[in-house]
């Protein structure tokens, strides 16, 4: 998982700085337990759907964008995973990232 994260960062960025960014995102999204796991493919099972969704958001967070637009990022997640994701997005917002998202109220 970390190798792909590194590919998203500038090639001229020092490796220790890349490691810090990636570790911060993994921690914020609660993905420590799957840090060395296969995400998965159609043929081979990997991490859960909720973890996969958080990995996808994490891939964008690693790029440290100034704006993130998310369409129903909590759709299909259980309440614990939703809370982890929304807390991570709130941290990003507090650090100056503009976040625009649609969130439907759960039943």
Whether 45 has a pLDDT exceeding 90, the answer reads no
Domain boundaries, the chain: 2-102
User: What's this model's pTM, rounded to 2 decimal places?
Assistant: 0.80
Residue 89's CB: how many other CB atoms inside 10 A? 22
CATH superfamily of 2-102: P-loop containing nucleotide triphosphate hydrolases (3.40.50.300)
Q: What is the rounded average pLDDT of the residues 22-28?
A: 90
pLDDT of residue 50: 82
In DSSP notation, 28-64 reads: HTT-GGGTTS----SSS--S-HHHHHHHHHHHHHHT-
For 46-93, the pLDDT digits (tens) are: 888 888 888 889 989 988 899 999 999 988 888 888 888 999 999 999
Structure confidence at residue 101 as a pLDDT band (50, 70, 90): very high
User: Given the structure tokens 């807390």, which residue do they identify?
Assistant: 87
């Amino acid at each position: 998982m970390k190798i792909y994260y590194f590919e998203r960062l500038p090639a001229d960025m020092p490796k220790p700085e890349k490691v810090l960014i990636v570790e911060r995102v993994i921690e914020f999204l609660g993905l420590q337990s799957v840090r060395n796991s296969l995400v998965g493919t159609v043929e081979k099972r990997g991490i859960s759907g909720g973890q996969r969704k958080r990995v996808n958001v994490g891939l964008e967070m690693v790029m440290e964008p100034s704006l993130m637009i998310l369409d129903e990022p909590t759709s299909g997640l259980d309440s614990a995973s939703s809370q982890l994701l929304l807390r991570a997005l709130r941290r990003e917002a507090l650090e100056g990232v503009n976040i625009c998202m649609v969130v439907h109220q759960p039943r």
